[in-house]
Amino acid sequence: MESLGDGYFSASLSDTTNQIEEILNESREKTGLMIYWKHGHNIFMFFYPGDQMYRVEMRRLRRELRKQDGNVLEIVAGEPLQVGCDTLYPIEVKMSGLPCAPYLLLREDGMIEHLDYTPYFVRTIQKRDEILQWLNE
């Protein structure tokens, strides 16, 4: 990703895919990995469910979803996504005023609606569904 100034950046499908593949390759032994787009830093980052920051982020999403004027408008299950040789299961988070161009690129189907969602990827459908259930309780 390349910064263009004033909060804008350029993104390509190959750059976006390479970021995720690097994370996956460095974490093969960790099955609980969660990869997410970090707005403002314009990169994919990750954490493991045992990390303190994972718990902080999940609580923040849940709290923002419940707030009347929160910036999280919706949290839903996305369709599985193939990245390299891995299948990832996205949790799609719709945030007010925060489009996510890298997710639109990754989906590769041209549906502009994907721009509205920030992805949080996990490696199993079971983990995705557990997290979604907790977030939407």
The alpha carbons of the chain give a radius of gyration, in whole angstroms, of: 14
Report whether pLDDT(41) > 50: yes
Q: What's the pLDDT tens digit per position in 9-40? A: 456 778 888 788 888 877 755 566 889 998 88
Q: What's the pLDDT tens digit per position in 66-103? A: 998 989 999 999 999 999 888 999 999 999 989 998 99
Split into its structural domains, the chain has a count of: 1
Residue 70 burial by Cβ neighbours in a 10 Å radius (0-12, 13-18, 19+): middle
How far is the C-alpha of 132 from the C-alpha of 129, rounded, in Å? 5
How far is the C-alpha of 40 from the C-alpha of 104, rounded, in Å? 17
- SS3 call for 40: coil
Per-residue confidence band for 53, with pLDDT thresholds at 50, 70 and 90: confident
- SS3 call for 84: coil
Range of the domain at 56: 2-135
Pairing of strands 43-47, 81-83: unpaired
Q: Give, for 82, the enclosing helix (H) or strand (E).
A: strand 81-83
Q: What's the pLDDT tens digit per position in 95-122? A: 998 999 899 989 988 889 999 999 999 9
Average pLDDT of the residues of the chain = 85
Per-residue confidence band for 61, with pLDDT thresholds at 50, 70 and 90: very high
| CA angle (101, 104, 108) in 5-degree steps | 140
